[in-house]
Amino acid sequence: MRVLGIFGPTGVGKTGVAIALAVELRERGEDPVAISCDALQVYEGLETLTGVATSAEQKQLEHRLVSFVPVTQPFSVGDYMRLAHAEVDAALEAGRRPIVVGGTGLYLRAAIAELSLEKVPPGTEDSELWSPETRHSTTVFGLDMDRAQLYERIDARTEAIVASGAEGEVRRAEALGPSRTARKALGFDELLAGDIETMRKRSRNYARRQLTWMRKIPDLHWIDRADRSDTDIAGEIAAVLDE
């Protein structure tokens, strides 16, 4: 069974597409499971800030590798790779369709391939990170859209995160003594300082970096999601599987 990847910038709507795809796959008799490839969604207690699928969304599609690391503990791509490989292998062995979904490029690569954790010579990082070899047959879909529309979505997402209580999450995490890696969550320091505008700007900058990562993925299926429903995009992904 082929592993699927759904990647794209923050705010583009990856979770919604993954859930719609799960509906499509179940109609075909499959049993899908989402495996997160987000470096910060692993942290317990930062679900609103990092955009973890809500409990209602997780009832529609099971998500693995989210909200399981204490905010006080560091977490690395090496830690993630070991767990992600185990999750993908277990899903395939159980006859389930793994959908690797998220926005951390290095974690996507670590989930679908054997990523060397040793330093490589300068100038060779791209080939190491995005060589076409994967552990299992894999197709990765990249979601993109017009920049102006994407930035509007990012701004709206930032407002929603703040309105949903992310500042309280951050302050509780700060009181516990967050690890260096947990503090990297986008908006952590900004919410402590009450600086929402900088949080918006950082989110836009992060989206640009994610798009740069996406351009390096071999054989990527680009999908323009502007003005399209999650169901419509899920149908396009299913059509690719039928080819």
Q: Is the pTM of this model over 0.85?
A: yes
Which domain, by its residues, includes 175? 3-242
Residue 128 has pLDDT above 70, yes or no: no
Tell me the C-alpha distance between 62 and 78, whole Å: 23
What confidence category does residue 111 fall into, taking pLDDT thresholds of 50, 70 and 90?
A: very high
Residue 191 has pLDDT above 50, yes or no: yes
Q: Give the pLDDT of residue 4.
A: 98
145-188 pLDDT, tens digit per residue, is 999 999 999 999 999 999 999 999 999 999 999 999 999 999 99
78-105 pLDDT, tens digit per residue, is 999 999 999 999 999 999 999 999 999 9
Residue 213 has pLDDT above 70, yes or no: yes
CB 141 within 8 Å of CB 5: yes
Q: Choose among 228, 211, 233: nearest CA to 17.
A: 233
27-76 pLDDT, tens digit per residue, is 999 999 999 999 999 999 999 999 999 999 999 999 999 999 999 999 99
Crossing angle (nearest 10°) for helices 147-163 and 166-176: 70
What confidence category does residue 131 fall into, taking pLDDT thresholds of 50, 70 and 90?
A: low
- Give phi and psi for 190, each to the nearest 5: -65, -40
Q: Give the pLDDT of residue 127.
A: 45
Q: Give the pLDDT of residue 130.
A: 56
Q: What is the CATH number of the domain that holds 28?
A: 3.40.50.300
Question: How many distinct structural domains can be found in the chain?
Answer: 1
Q: What is the mean pLDDT of the chain?
A: 93
Crossing angle (nearest 10°) for helices 147-163 and 196-214: 130
Q: Give the pLDDT of residue 125.
A: 45
Tell me the C-alpha distance between 149 and 64, whole Å: 30
Q: Give the pLDDT of residue 124.
A: 46
Tell me the C-alpha distance between 67 and 75, whole Å: 12
